[in-house]
Amino acid sequence: MVKEIVLANAPTGFPVIELGKADSTFEIKEVELLELQDNQLLLQTIFVSNDPAQRGWIQKDQNSDRAYLPPILPGDRMRAASIAKVLKSTSSSFKEGTLVQCYGGWAEQLVVNAKDAFPLPDLPGVSPSVFLGAVGVPGLTAYFGLKDVCKLQEGQVIIISGAAGATGNVAVQLAKHVLKASKVIAIAGSDEKCQWLREIGADVALNYKSSSFPNALVEAAKPSYADCYFDNVGGPILNACLSVIKRNGCVAACGAISAYNDPSQMILSNWAEIIINRITVKGFIVMDYYHRRAEAVEVISSAIKEGKLSVVGGETIVRCTEFKEIPKVWIRLFRGENTGKLVTQVAD
């Protein structure tokens, strides 16, 4: 028998993380592993990815028609990207002992079909957890968001919120050092995060919790306003940014973490700016670009090798001593406690 964590009660507001309560969002389950069939792998989970999007996947009463992935229902194992070690293999493509990427979820061990596991890209000298962050979904999101959604050009001004997060910090570095933005304005939630963002390439880094934030944002955007805004957070920060985007500028709507647990926070009193200044808001999901994954991995890997993209500081790895701690690490995402990619390590 092995442990996994399943959805117990689909939340509408802030998830209840403590296990064992009547309204707990999650619960622990013991499951029996099936014998391997042909072309299957027995995996030991090593690293589990924590992503704001996971909150959307468990939202109560979703219209499955409109979701981009099937909703996770009570009783289902929590979905998460992961890095796992192959313990047994009946596939000629994977040797025992190698590491793979997959959507293994919150499971100690699990059996997957070989076609649902992927070898790690070749990038020596980095922790395998990087394939959940800068060279994983968050990094791809940053790359395609800048390149295809913002269509960021050399010399332009860009604002990036959630800038100290997994996607944000890669976006800041790619915008400045690879796509050659003339000014990167980064927004984050602490002075320490802002200091780090300046070190990795932000021309200006603003703490949105500071009372001077709205004015500082206006000053930072002078003299020409911003060509685009890469929005990871929604809410009051999106609202503030609408008033400093250039005429005919754009918003890449990537995430809205500020409102995932309370959508009523999405008050956009500056909406008229979208009309008056002919702003285009483009929602996007990185899955739509997966057919171009190799292109993004190549650009990001090269940037790492050339020293243009630092993964030092861009990652917070939390080692769980007990499997049941996984939800407690995950919820830190929504408290703004982590810097860079938040990864949970469940085994060595």
| Contacting positions for a copy of itself (CB under 8 A) | 56, 63, 66-68, 234, 243, 247, 253-256, 259-260, 263-264, 266-285, 288
Nearer to a copy of itself, 199 or 288 (CB): 288
C-alpha 41/C-alpha 228 separation (Å) is 44
Could you tell me the smallest distance in angstroms from the CB atom of residue 123 to a copy of itself?
A: 29
Contacts of 326 (CB under 8 A, 6+ apart): 5, 48, 78, 106, 320, 344, 346
In the numeric block, the tokens 């070898």 are attached to 119
Length of the chain (residues): 348
Smallest distance, Å, CB 243 to a copy of itself? 7
At its nearest, how many Å lie between a copy of itself and the CB of residue 72?
15
Instruction: Report the C-alpha gap between 60 and 333 in whole angstroms.
Output: 20
Q: Find the shortest distance in angstroms from Cβ 256 to a copy of itself.
A: 6
Separation of alpha carbons 272 and 278, rounded Å: 10
Task: Supply the minimum distance, in Å, between the C-beta of residue 95 and a copy of itself.
Answer: 38
286 vs 299 by CB, closer to a copy of itself: 286
Nearer to a copy of itself, 235 or 340 (CB): 235
Contacts of 223 (CB under 8 A, 6+ apart): none
3-state secondary structure of 290: helix
Contacts (Cβ under 8 Å, ≥6 apart) of 118: 100, 101, 102
In this complex, which beta carbon is closest to a copy of itself, that of residue 73 or of residue 285?
285
Q: How many CB atoms lie within 10 A of CB 343?
A: 28
Cis peptide before 223 (omega within 30 of 0): yes
Measured from the CB atom, the residue of 59 and 345 that comes closer to a copy of itself is 59
81/126 with CB nearer a copy of itself: 81
Residue type, 87: L
For 152, 173, 183, 241, 324, the CA distances from 308, given in Å and listed in that order, are: 17, 7, 16, 27, 37
Give me 83's structure tokens: 């890095």
d(CA 266, CA 292): 32
Closer Cβ to a copy of itself, 120 or 266, answer by number: 266
* Comparison of 12 and 212: residue with beta carbon closer to a copy of itself: 12
Residue 76's Cβ-count burial label (10 Å; 0-12, 13-18, 19+) is: middle
Minimum distance from CB of 203 to a copy of itself (Å)? 21
Residue 41 CB, nearest approach to a copy of itself (Å): 31
- Contact present, 164 and 339 (Cβ < 8 Å): yes
- In the complex, least distance from residue 210 CB atom to a copy of itself, rounded to whole angstroms: 22
Least Å distance between CB 270 and a copy of itself? 7
Closest CB to a copy of itself among residues 257, 318 = 257
Give the residue from 83, 71, 202, 79 showing the smallest Cα distance to 131. 83
